[in-house]
Structure 1
Amino acid sequence: MPRVQLPAVTPRRKVWNKGRIVGQKRPLRPRQVWAIRTRLELSNCLRDLTLFNVAIDSKLRGCDLVKLKVSDLASTSQIKERASVIQTKTGNPVRFELTENTRQSIMIWLRSPEMLGCGFMFPSRFHDRPHISTRQYGRLVRDWVTAIGLEPSGYGTHSLRRTKAAAIYRKTGNLRAVQLLLGHTKVDSTVRYLGVELEDALTIAEQIDI
């Protein structure tokens, strides 16, 4: 009786994201921003409050946020109203505003004993690291959202990057402005980042003459 050759069967790998919420992280809503900010103020967490406020205003990626230097945000004894940094991902500069509330928290943080002689805005407590890591920043964000009753799997460091950008887009519909603020080189990157419908994005873009 001839032997039948059966096709080889490749064992299935376990799906890495099974049971997890993946995809873009949600931006925070204004009431959620204020809930986190209020908790940090009441607990007198100066570093975390400053980190949170700067993250919302700057709209920076985590890798750029944690590496901010004091000189990026302050000159002598004055906190800058606008700052500029070179993005690690693109190598291009991006500018951002610092609101009065954020500038005040920066000033208080810089005057604290922990910042004596520090060159980085958010120094690490480990001697072998000059500033906090993106992983530590991620853990802080998870703690912040959990503290106000949000599901941490739906939020991350990009939630803070997207928060103000999403609010600006909802209020103005100005996709080009959001593109510049996020430091995106292409407008379609901004479209995907905001989760904007393509037709809506094109309609807005057609109205903006650059």
Structure 2
Amino acid sequence: MGSVVNSVHREPWYKGKIVGQKAPLKLKDIWALRVRLQMESRLRELALFNLGIDSKLRGCDLVGLKVRDVCHGDQVASRAVVMQHKTQRPVQFEITPATTRDAVQKWIKQSELKSEDFLFPSRIHDSPHLGTRQYARILGGWVQELGLDPAEYSTHSMRRTKATLIYRRTKNLRAVQLLLGHSKLESTVRYLGIEVDDALEISDQTEI
């Protein structure tokens, strides 16, 4: 009888929400935000934004980066290797010179960060580094500033942005798989939201 009493009609959790992959950022939005952050000297956000795009890391891996992960001595490296928290598999990424390397270098210098320090220390006392929720809030602010629909974007939009651009330009699924640190090509196919037939056709044409 208890089950009958408790069977109150509930709206599905996804009602009114967009279910599925979050949208990657467009090039014009990337540059619009970069310019704004530079003009307003928001170094921490600029470093976080540029590194988020370049690294294609999940939010938990991005906020957990230490200075030593991206630096050789006192210089920001051209490439970095990070162990992914979710898969415990290493993934390598490039740190582009004109945008990301410069922004990260300036942020480290301004904040006087040492090798063992977290790259993005938290401003909340009981947390050693920026949390994923804080990162999501910061991203929400960026989306708002760009005049985009907040329901269509999340921190995964940052992870997907460069991967999607690389795929569109090269059609090289294997390369994108390696850059995202996926163990299976099928995961990359789903992540990019491309059709399986299209993916297999491209995969057949891609010599490794």
Aligned residues: 204
Q: Which residue of 2 aligns with 1:74?
A: 71
3-state DSSP of counterpart to 2:142: helix
Q: CA deviation at 1:8?
A: 9.0
CA distance in 2: counterparts of 1:11 and 1:78, whole angstroms? 60
Q: How does 1:167-186 map to 2 (within 5 A)?
A: 167-186=165-184
3-state DSSP of counterpart to 1:37: helix
Larger radius of gyration: 1
Q: Which residue of 2 aligns with 1:194?
A: 192
Q: Which residue of 2 aligns with 1:55?
A: 52
Instruction: Note the residue ranges of structure 2 that are not aligned, 5 or more in a row.
Output: none
CA distance in 2: counterparts of 1:37 and 1:13, whole angstroms? 43
CA distance in 2: counterparts of 1:196 and 1:190, whole angstroms? 9
Identify if the C-alpha distance between structure 1 residues 9 and 67 changes in structure 2 by more than 3 Å, giving closer, same or farther: closer
- Is contact 1:62–1:157 with CA below 8 Å preserved after alignment? yes
3-state DSSP of counterpart to 2:82: strand
Q: Deviations over 1:130-189 (max 9, x none)?
A: 101000000111100110110111001000100000000000000000000000000000
- Is contact 2:166–2:176 with CA below 8 Å preserved after alignment? yes
Q: Which residue of 2 aligns with 1:3?
A: none
- Between stretches 157-166 and 20-29, larger displacement belongs to 20-29
What is the CA RMSD across the aligned residues, in angstroms?
Answer: 1.7
Q: Which residue of 1 aligns with 2:17?
A: 20
- Is contact 2:76–2:101 with CA below 8 Å preserved after alignment? yes
Q: How does 1:95-174 map to 2 (within 5 A)?
A: 95-100=92-97, 101-113=99-111, 115=113, 119-174=117-172
Q: CA deviation at 1:114?
A: 5.9
Give the % identical residues: 54
TM-score normalised to the size of structure 1?
Answer: 0.92
- Is contact 1:79–1:103 with CA below 8 Å preserved after alignment? yes
Identify if the C-alpha distance between structure 1 residues 165 and 13 changes in structure 2 by more than 3 Å, giving closer, same or farther: same
Q: Which residue of 1 aligns with 2:35?
A: 38
Q: CA deviation at 1:118?
A: 6.6
Instruction: Note the residue ranges of structure 1 that are not aligned, 5 or more in a row.
Output: 1-6
- Is contact 2:67–2:115 with CA below 8 Å preserved after alignment? no
3-state DSSP of counterpart to 1:111: helix
TM-score normalised to the size of structure 2?
Answer: 0.93
